[in-house]
Amino acid sequence: MLEPVLRHIDNGLEESIGRWSELLRIPSVSTDPAYEPSMRKAAQWLQDQLAPLGFNVDIRETEGHPVVIGHHPGPGGDATHVLYYGHYDVQPPDPLEEWDNEPFEPTLVDGPHGRRMVARGAVDDKGQLMMWFEALRAWHAEHGDLPVAVTVLLEGEEEVGSRNLRPVLERYRDELAADVCVVSDTAMWDIDTPALTYTLRGLLYTELTCRGPGHDLHSGFYGGAVCNPLNALSRVLGALQDDSGRIRIPGFYDDVVEPSEEELSDWRSLNMDEEGFLASAGLSTSGGGETDRSLLERTWSRPSCDINGIIGGFTGAGAKTVIPREASAKVSFRLVPDQDPERVIEAFRQFIDDNTPAGCTIDLRIDSAAPAIRIPTTSPYLRAAKKALGSVYDREALLLGCGGSIPIAAWARDILGIDTLLMGFSLADDGMHSPNEKFEVTCFHRGIRAHAALLEELRQQ
Amino acid sequence: MLEPVLRHIDNGLEESIGRWSELLRIPSVSTDPAYEPSMRKAAQWLQDQLAPLGFNVDIRETEGHPVVIGHHPGPGGDATHVLYYGHYDVQPPDPLEEWDNEPFEPTLVDGPHGRRMVARGAVDDKGQLMMWFEALRAWHAEHGDLPVAVTVLLEGEEEVGSRNLRPVLERYRDELAADVCVVSDTAMWDIDTPALTYTLRGLLYTELTCRGPGHDLHSGFYGGAVCNPLNALSRVLGALQDDSGRIRIPGFYDDVVEPSEEELSDWRSLNMDEEGFLASAGLSTSGGGETDRSLLERTWSRPSCDINGIIGGFTGAGAKTVIPREASAKVSFRLVPDQDPERVIEAFRQFIDDNTPAGCTIDLRIDSAAPAIRIPTTSPYLRAAKKALGSVYDREALLLGCGGSIPIAAWARDILGIDTLLMGFSLADDGMHSPNEKFEVTCFHRGIRAHAALLEELRQQ
């Protein structure tokens, strides 16, 4: 049944690109309340796409942005039931001045691998979710049905830590029951080598607000007599890592599982191009510490700490001799198995209290907290996906780790009791979260084919 | 000759307040290029005020904002020659939302000491310079002349470190020759106790820019593998002080002169209200370190380090998992005798280099650098000022230190070879550089009288 579907995909590529562009034109930035109407518009657009394929689909409210949930019965009987997950929200486009085109005016430009789509969300996650969307559409067009039972769950808060995803999964637990969850939000090894991701880091995202004087002060009259919130905040943040890059929060590494010798050996055999990886970041040397470990090891199996933003005091042009009354920072941690976010939060809170200089206070607010995930390599669904990828790419799919965080994977396991297939098609230089984010049309096209092939494998299971 | 002048001052107070308000209405913020037309308007206003008093006055260009220079021959003969200095620029008014009135719409409100003027620059330095302005005006009105030869120098860059004042003093060295410099930009002890300031801290104002990746990165994929400029900057800034508040830059304290036992004894006898001082900052405890020293000692005789601003990464509402490509901070040091700004700059540069983590670079830009000052207590002009203040306040003027920085004092000594009388009338709670900056009308009025009395003393010298 696959062949006509693949032909349909090949012949309909330009139409698929057209629909992808429509979705990219909707500026669905979840973190900024100003974009709220666009969030709703994106959810509506997705509902409108699913309904004609025979989905019973609607938009459900949450305490934040809505989710789109759709059901397709498939062929009935004991067909496999697949839960597709994707997110329709994107990162903010700033800094705007660094884009070559308008971030929400999707633009096809020529690159070394042919055409590429440049837009915010080109890959993350609109480009990736459109691949399984288009595979379902092609199957439906050719066969008037789908080969498996399908539930679709699309959220609008992945870029802000999936705050309301857990409540949604708990609330609709029975309705979302399935055999396996399929997600496209990860990377390939390179443009010709497909990959499945079996580990993901978790994410703890926090905000610190440091307060000192009751109002801004003149640093001449008060300098040396009062606690400056910027000095205090820098002191706490500067103490987070030691010279070797290790995070200095007591107990932070207590539950960290070291990768097995076998894993380390597998990773070494990948012969990762560290230079190329760094070059994709505009760098010639690594940084951030733990230099006794490889970059794969550091990003796949080690926790990290990044300050994502700091603001305080006078930041305009020129000089102002001010001691500001407050300053704030966004600080996030990537977590690995078996770190418990709640335990890390408590340790971080204690660390802040222990390091805050007298005369200032620091409040810690938790924005989101999700644990790391590790998917068993023995899963039959993983085998099916490997086979599907192998048939499209004529090359064996690799099993990779990933430094990023996809909360659905952990919660699908914990709440729905199912594994998640992380079958993604992005490349290291796609610039996710950066200006000029792009997605190769070649990846998009082969990704749709691979999702169709996966449907065929799951049909036979 | 003083009595009619004092009467003129008393009777003309409302007109003086009116002129003061006119000057306050001009938003002469020197640090922001957007206010450049207002800078010129303020210089023009000052010129227009001086000319009718018989000054030969004009506006001179610099590489930044212009200076106003005026000359009045006085009575001729061997009359004392006074160089009055003031600055017509003010600090930026932000944060605007914390003002009770428009910062450039001067407003008289009632307070515990009677009327007070609320506006940006109410005291610093427009209110203070208007006092000697109004004293000269009253003297001229009563006697048709001035009792001493007067040169006026008004600059527009004090709040941005007096970048072009030194070149101006060097260029017009002969023209600016005088016997003594008089400045009103300092504080009283309290509203009934006049004071002369004999030490000032210097100011070194710098900006650090930390750069890492070539573009913003996703903290999931790169976290732990690359140097995050915000982590690196925090590390350097957080290392600047130790737990006891001492600045950790090697050699920083090498040239610091400890106050003499006599000075310490004098300061102790002032019985400073430390609680009240802290309360004026909205605080109940001190901070910033060196807790084994009194607050007077710390702000008058000890160097300090304050971070005046930091910005980098995502600072909007919500979360963004970004590793920014750059981050920057404004860092300033208050210097004391005999610290050499150039030596401190070199030590700071070395400290930054030594503490910057691999994978990032930090550039240091020097915004301004001025040494501390100490005026000999044996100066005859200081005696004259003490006498003048005593006659107006019926109380002996105290000799105080000051934690702030007034570059003219050091450069008048170094370039013009003269001492500076720092006779100021601000109060600790005036909120210089803060929202709702104010100046008591009582201070303003008595300050004009004191300046008239000083003219009388200098006339007789």
Cβ–Cβ below 8 Å for A309 and B324 = yes
Q: pLDDT tens digit string along A274-306?
A: 999 999 899 999 988 788 899 999 999 999 999
Mean pLDDT of B222-236: 97
Residue A182: strand pairing partners: A84, A421
- Average pLDDT over chain A reads 95
Q: How many helices (H) and strands (E) does chain A have?
A: 14, 18
CATH number listed for the domain at residues A202-266+297-370: 3.30.70.360
Residue B224 pLDDT = 95
Of the candidates B215, B230, B435, which has its C-beta nearest A307's C-beta?
A: B230
Distance CA A23, CA A129 (A): 11
Mean pLDDT of B320-347: 96
Residue A148 pLDDT = 98
Q: pLDDT tens digit string along B91-104?
A: 999 889 999 999 99
Distance CA B439, CA B278 (A): 19
Residue A137 pLDDT = 98
For residue B378, pLDDT over 90 is answered with: no
Q: Which of B322, B339, B361, B427 to mutate to test the interface with A (most CBs of A within 10 A)?
A: B322
3-state secondary structure chain B: CHHHHHHHHHHCHHHHHHHHHHHHCCCCECCCHHHHHHHHHHHHHHHHHHHHHCCEEEEECCCCCCEEEEEECCCCCCCCEEEEEEECCECCCCCHHHCCCCCCCCEEEEECCEEEEECCCCCCCHHHHHHHHHHHHHHHHHHCCCCCEEEEEEECCHHHCCCCHHHHHHHCCCCCCCCEEEECCCECCECCECEEEEEECEEEEEEEEEECCCCCEEHHHHECCECCHHHHHHHHHHCCECCCCCECCCCCCCCCCCCCHHHHHHHHHCCCCHHHHHHHCCCCCCCCCCCCCCHHHHHHHCCEEEEEEEEEECCCCCCCCEECCEEEEEEEEEECCCCCHHHHHHHHHHHHHHHCCCCCEEEEEEEEEECCEECCCCCHHHHHHHHHHHHHHCCCCEEEEECCCCHHHHHHHHHHCCCEEEECCECHHHCCCCCCCEEEHHHHHHHHHHHHHHHHHHHCC
For residue A307, the chain B residues in CB contact (below 8 A) are 228, 230-231, 234, 313
Q: Which of B233, B240, B273, B307 to mutate to test the interface with A (most CBs of A within 10 A)?
A: B307
Beta strand pairing call for B149-155 and B81-87: parallel
Identify the residue whose tokens are 């200032």: A360
| Cα–Cα distances in angstroms (integers) from residue B327 to residues A200, B209, B366, in the given order | 28, 6, 17
Residue A410 pLDDT = 85
Q: Which of A96, A158, A226, A298 to mutate to test the interface with B (most CBs of B within 10 A)?
A: A226
Cβ–Cβ below 8 Å for A309 and B310 = no
Residue B163 pLDDT = 84
A380 close contact with B: CB closer than 8 A: no
Q: How confident is the model at residue B254 (pLDDT cuts 50, 70, 90)?
A: very high
Cβ–Cβ below 8 Å for A431 and B360 = no
Residue B226 pLDDT = 95
Q: pLDDT tens digit string along B165-194?
A: 999 999 999 999 999 999 999 999 999 999
Q: pLDDT tens digit string along B35-50?
A: 999 999 999 999 999 9
Interface of B with A in 7-36 (CB under 8 A): 30-33
Distance CA A220, CA B403 (A): 5
CATH number listed for the domain at residues A2-200+372-460: 3.40.630.10
For residue A446, pLDDT over 90 is answered with: yes
Where do the structural domains in chain B lie, given as residue ranges? Answer: 2-200+372-459, 202-263+301-370
CATH 1.20.140.150 fits domain B2-200+372-459: no
Q: How confident is the model at residue A156 (pLDDT cuts 50, 70, 90)?
A: very high
Mean pLDDT of B280-286: 91
Cβ–Cβ below 8 Å for B308 and A321 = yes
Residue A433 pLDDT = 84
Which of B156, B100, B101 is CA-nearest to residue B129? B156
Domains B2-200+372-459 and B202-263+301-370 share a fold: no
Identify the residue whose tokens are 């637990």: A173
Residue B406 pLDDT = 84
For residue B288, pLDDT over 90 is answered with: no
Cβ–Cβ below 8 Å for B314 and A317 = no
For residue B71, pLDDT over 90 is answered with: yes
A269 close contact with B: CB closer than 8 A: no
Of the candidates B203, B215, B245, which has its C-beta nearest A435's C-beta?
A: B215
Residue A428 pLDDT = 83
Q: How confident is the model at residue A243 (pLDDT cuts 50, 70, 90)?
A: confident
- Average pLDDT over chain B reads 95
Q: Which residues contact A6 (CB under 8 A, 6 or more apart)?
A: A449, A452, A453
For residue B308, pLDDT over 90 is answered with: yes
Distance from the Cα of A375 to chain B's closest Cα (Å) equals 18
Q: pLDDT tens digit string along B119-152?
A: 999 999 999 999 999 999 999 999 999 999 999 9
A90 close contact with B: CB closer than 8 A: no
Mean pLDDT of B417-421: 94
Cβ–Cβ below 8 Å for A308 and B323 = yes
Distance from the Cα of A13 to chain B's closest Cα (Å) equals 29
Distance CA B5, CA A215 (A): 40
User: Which of the residue ranges A360-364, B54-58, B271-275 would you say has the lowest mean pLDDT?
Assistant: B271-275
Q: How confident is the model at residue B243 (pLDDT cuts 50, 70, 90)?
A: confident
For residue A432, pLDDT over 90 is answered with: no
Residue B194 pLDDT = 98
For residue A187, the chain B residues in CB contact (below 8 A) are 221
* Interface ipTM above 0.85: no
CATH number listed for the domain at residues B202-263+301-370: 3.30.70.360
Mean pLDDT of B19-30: 98
For residue A25, pLDDT over 90 is answered with: yes
Distance CA B60, CA B404 (A): 27
Mean pLDDT of A40-68: 97
Residue B53 pLDDT = 97
Cβ–Cβ below 8 Å for A214 and B282 = yes
Residue A405 pLDDT = 83
Q: How confident is the model at residue B241 (pLDDT cuts 50, 70, 90)?
A: very high
